């Protein structure tokens, strides 16, 4: 079985033919230019799909995009980075232009479907994925299906509060987990810590321009045995632990799949998170608790979009 997958990103439109067994068998890409307007972008998506030469027999199209999507997975309700797309039945517009049935879903939910169909999530009926990138996204799988809530917008896990007095992020609320684990916020926290330690190699490297400090630098230094880097990542992992407690106490989901750039810090983050969970999560929820690293990398969005098509049209 094959499906067409589209990843509508801020920079590029990617399209692929994905086989359920073999994964991505063909892939193409074109710049997005969202600023040229919705209809132009819809036409570009269709022409990108038309370039695919191995699409014969595909059962339908799944598309991931940066926005909130309704329960029916057809219409976007909130898309700050896609001007003109709000309350547009994008699935129908794509079908008009391609002749194929289409469903859409937001990026983090697509990542969850990628893991469910092609990644570590294959082994779990119920799990939560956290995408740790520029922002923190979330997707919730219950009984091998996306949990969408009453209107389709469930899983805004980056906007769950762990300290209502805490720092601001892109959120309208203080102390959400995104304010600690989002890339920029983690870098800012790290800079504040490093500024207090002029003897540290990280100070020497970044004190002239802290804007260049990225989470990967912390991971590298932690791997080198730099105690300050280890401490910064540990503190961040502890905060992740508190967020996970909130998700689990609420939904009784015990498998956490972590993906995205910041998750590459791996055990430097995960082990402190596990320690907090062990200490502060209610005992009956501990059995079967697991944090798992997802390694699908850049392909996860296309694989997830294909998963959406398989779930919708197979």
Binding interface with a second copy (CB under 8 A)? 68, 77-78, 125-126, 138, 140, 142, 147-157, 159-165, 171-175, 239, 242, 245-247, 249-254, 279-285, 287-288
Considering the complex, state which of residue 219 and residue 248 has its C-beta at the smaller distance from a second copy.
248
The least distance separating a second copy from the CB of residue 128, rounded to whole angstroms, comes to 10
Find how far residue 64's CA is from the centre of its chain: 11
Kindly provide the b/e burial profile for residues 29-60, where b requires at least 16 CB atoms within 10 angstroms of the residue's own CB.
Answer: eeebebeeebeebbebbbebbeebeebeebbb
The least distance separating a second copy from the CB of residue 3, rounded to whole angstroms, comes to 26
Considering the complex, state which of residue 103 and residue 148 has its C-beta at the smaller distance from a second copy.
148
The least distance separating a second copy from the CB of residue 268, rounded to whole angstroms, comes to 20
Rounded distance between C-alpha atoms, residue 55 and residue 16, angstroms: 9
The least distance separating a second copy from the CB of residue 273, rounded to whole angstroms, comes to 13
225 bridge partner residues:
none
The least distance separating a second copy from the CB of residue 284, rounded to whole angstroms, comes to 4
Bridge-based pairing state of the strands 23-31 and 12-19? antiparallel
Considering the complex, state which of residue 165 and residue 208 has its C-beta at the smaller distance from a second copy.
165
Q: Ramachandran region of residue 244, left (φ > 0), alpha (ψ -120 to 50) or beta? A: alpha
Bridge-based pairing state of the strands 127-132 and 136-142? antiparallel
The least distance separating a second copy from the CB of residue 154, rounded to whole angstroms, comes to 4
Considering the complex, state which of residue 64 and residue 137 has its C-beta at the smaller distance from a second copy.
137
Considering the complex, state which of residue 5 and residue 245 has its C-beta at the smaller distance from a second copy.
245
Considering the complex, state which of residue 173 and residue 207 has its C-beta at the smaller distance from a second copy.
173
The helix/strand/coil state of 71 is coil
- Write out the H or E segment, with its range, that includes residue 312: helix 300-313
């Amino acid at each position: 079985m094959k499906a067409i997958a589209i990843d509508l990103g801020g920079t590029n439109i990617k399209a692929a033919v994905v086989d359920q067994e073999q994964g991505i068998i063909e892939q193409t890409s074109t710049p997005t230019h969202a600023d040229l307007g919705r209809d132009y972008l819809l036409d570009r998506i269709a022409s990108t799909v038309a370039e695919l030469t191995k699409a014969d027999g595909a059962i339908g199209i799944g598309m991931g995009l940066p926005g909130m999507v309704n329960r029916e997975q057809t219409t976007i309700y909130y898309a700050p980075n896609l001007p003109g797309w709000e309350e547009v039945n994008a699935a129908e517009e794509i079908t008009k232009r391609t002749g194929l049935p289409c469903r859409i879903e937001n990026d983090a939910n697509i990542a969850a479907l990628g893991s469910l169909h092609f990644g570590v999530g294959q082994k779990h009926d119920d799990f939560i994925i956290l995408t740790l990138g520029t922002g923190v996204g979330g997707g919730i799988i219950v009984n091998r299906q996306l949990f969408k809530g009453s209107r389709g917008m469930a899983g805004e896990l980056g906007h769950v509060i762990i300290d209502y007095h805490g720092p601001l992020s892109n959120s309208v609320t203080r102390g959400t987990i995104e304010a600690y684990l989002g890339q920029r916020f983690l870098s800012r926290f790290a800079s504040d810590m490093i500024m207090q330690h002029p003897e540290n190699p990280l100070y020497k490297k970044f004190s002239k321009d802290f804007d260049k400090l990225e989470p990967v630098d912390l991971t590298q230094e932690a791997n080198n045995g730099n105690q300050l880097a280890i401490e910064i990542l540990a503190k961040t992992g502890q905060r992740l632990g508190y967020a996970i407690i909130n998700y689990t106490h609420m939904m009784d989901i015990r498998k956490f799949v972590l993906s995205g750039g910041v998750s590459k810090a791996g055990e430097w983050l995960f082990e402190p998170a596990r320690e907090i969970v062990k200490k502060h999560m209610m005992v009956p929820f501990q059995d079967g608790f697991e944090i798992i690293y997802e390694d699908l990398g850049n392909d996860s969005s296309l694989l997830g979009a294909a998963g959406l098509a398989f779930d919708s049209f197979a």
